[in-house]
Structure 1
């Protein structure tokens, strides 16, 4: 994009667009994509358009994930989740305000009923049940188009471990639900290397692809458009002494946050470039005030989100020293955290 307008005027225009239009602008050029993640624009956009953004918190109680809470980001509206069934388990969310959850079938304790919904408008629609067992490992939802709304839900479930000679390869079943056909279909299993598994954190979705961190610090990429997958290396070699590594979205790009050993709450941030190489961002790093704080997300281009037991903390990223801008006391220690953003306009889910 070769614009003669100053960036301040462009952001003023973007702040008055709809959530759908903002998503389209991000795909128009690198300049618009970068501006769309500026903290000033995001805060202004939330105020003018009544956008709700933050994190859906899910807790584990007596072996059941049936308590949910919404933690709004600074300057955001709140979100009422009381309409959800008491035993709803959140599986995936999208930046377009769509969420997938499941509940146990009241007539069959071994079966689950899946639903798609837009929490901001309390729209809920039942989905057909995918085939196979109920051992869900990962879920992700990717919006393919906005006019009309077109999305795909990707489900990874446990298939079996394949033993080849002395090696043990984990195979994951992959099922895809398409909102256009309103059907599930199965792809060929995804088989990983010897002793390699998917890790617990939620997948990161970007530009129609799903990224998942593996136990050997490599990254699994699944392209929803081509429905092909590949594994590529991260900039951090596998090291058991390394305390934590998290896949994140950093200014609309795929990022990797790494906490080196004895870093005293300091997290390095790496960014995945267009030429498929990694570059360490030397100008910024996530830093916490306590060793008990763990990094959960990068909210925008200069805000990190930390968790310290029952507290969610927002820090403004700086080159030297971070400053806390918001703190939310939760009901309990979170089990899962889902990034969420939505407007309050009804959507045609089917």
Structure 2
């Protein structure tokens, strides 16, 4: 599954050049599935596809859905809703999971609009694992892993082009061994789970949030002040230190967020009226660079405000009490949307086309 890995982009230029306006027009009409390959053509093409003006026009021209699933728990049941500042295509009804046989919890989101969900035990019926594409309302069951072990973290990685192939990586708590995570991997080609090597890391170390998939690895922040990275292909793991300047800060943990932006691993820090953005400029050598420091005075200090993601390099997606905010780091608030969740317990970035899965 080499196509699953998004590696380092080389600073190469194409052997011929087109006016940037022409390239922009072409790329805004490229299918969502083709964008990863377009970003490999040259530096110019990659930069264009990450421009703020590109996303809105590309969504409109290609009927691409771009936004976030917000998930929280009510009365012992999980509830999710979709939010976006991009209008949904006219032919698409509001995204939900009401087409699945049972109420579900979102576990992970992969590229191409596929989502991993699980249902809970109900009237003695065990829960099931589902893979679905909400934009086309397709779904199928997959075998359950050894669910007698409690899931601690789970992630999905899908190939970005060609026939749909994906892997699910699940870490669970082995009984009476709190310093060891059991690792199981599901491969869509074999339609089976298999055991990988255990991870010698306390189960409580990894923060409860969606994994960040960059450079062929899954990443989670730990409570010990570093990043846990699991290589999808080698099935090995390592700990990556945070930037020295922030590694020892005693700020609230909900003020730190690990995200992916423009194909790079990023660390976002929010403390009172300031936001810092750090980028891992060299993944192999683990070199961090401070990209920018931004004042948040325009939205006033809200103790409940949390950073959820970088929607674009200059647009932060933030959550607060019964609302979410898209905040342009240069121009101020782009949009506030009220949600029916007191707080977003989990947030999943979602991009999808309307092409049915075969």
Same fold (TM over 0.5): yes
SS of the residue corresponding to residue 225 of structure 1 reads coil
1:289 aligns with 2:304: no
The corresponding residue for 1:345 is 355
Q: Name the structure where helix makes up a greater proportion of residues.
A: 2
Q: Name the structure where strand makes up a greater proportion of residues.
A: 1
Give the deviation of 1:108 after TM superposition: 3.3
Give the deviation of 1:10 after TM superposition: 1.6
Question: 2:118 pairs with 96, 102, 106, which one?
Answer: 102
- Distance verdict in 2 for CA 1:258–1:283, change over 3 Å: closer
1:234 aligns with 2:222: no
The corresponding residue for 1:62 is 75
Map residues 39-54 of structure 1 onto 2, 5 A cutoff.
Answer: 39-54=52-67
Give the deviation of 1:112 after TM superposition: 2.1
- Distance verdict in 2 for CA 1:134–1:113, change over 3 Å: farther
Q: Write the distance in 1 (CA, Å) between the matches of 2:213 and 2:357.
A: 21
- Distance verdict in 2 for CA 1:316–1:59, change over 3 Å: same
Q: Write the distance in 1 (CA, Å) between the matches of 2:176 and 2:240.
A: 22
Give the deviation of 1:285 after TM superposition: 6.7
- Distance verdict in 2 for CA 1:147–1:216, change over 3 Å: same
Q: Write the distance in 1 (CA, Å) between the matches of 2:275 and 2:201.
A: 28
Give the deviation of 1:121 after TM superposition: 0.4
Question: 2:138 pairs with 86, 98, 123, which one?
Answer: 123
Q: Write the distance in 2 (CA, Å) between the matches of 1:120 and 1:210.
A: 25
1:176 aligns with 2:185: yes
Give the deviation of 1:188 after TM superposition: 1.1
1:327 aligns with 2:343: no
The corresponding residue for 2:166 is 151
Give the deviation of 1:161 after TM superposition: 6.1
The corresponding residue for 1:253 is 264
**TM-score, structure 1 normalization:** 0.88
Checking the alignment, whether the CA contact within 8 Å between 1:53 and 1:341 is kept in structure 2 is yes
Q: Deviations over 1:44-83 (max 9, x none)?
A: 1001011111011112112321x22111233454642132
Q: Give the number of equivalent residue pairs.
A: 333
1:307 aligns with 2:324: no
Q: Mean alpha-carbon deviation: is it higher for 135-144 or for 22-31?
A: 22-31
The corresponding residue for 2:289 is 279
SS of the residue corresponding to residue 337 of structure 1 reads strand
Give the deviation of 1:2 after TM superposition: 1.9
Question: 2:34 pairs with 14, 21, 29, which one?
Answer: 21
1:2 aligns with 2:3: no
Give the deviation of 1:196 after TM superposition: 6.4
Structure 1, gaps ≥5 residues long: 163-168
Structure 2, gaps ≥5 residues long: 1-11
Give the deviation of 1:342 after TM superposition: 0.1
Over aligned residues, Cα RMSD in angstroms?
A: 2.2
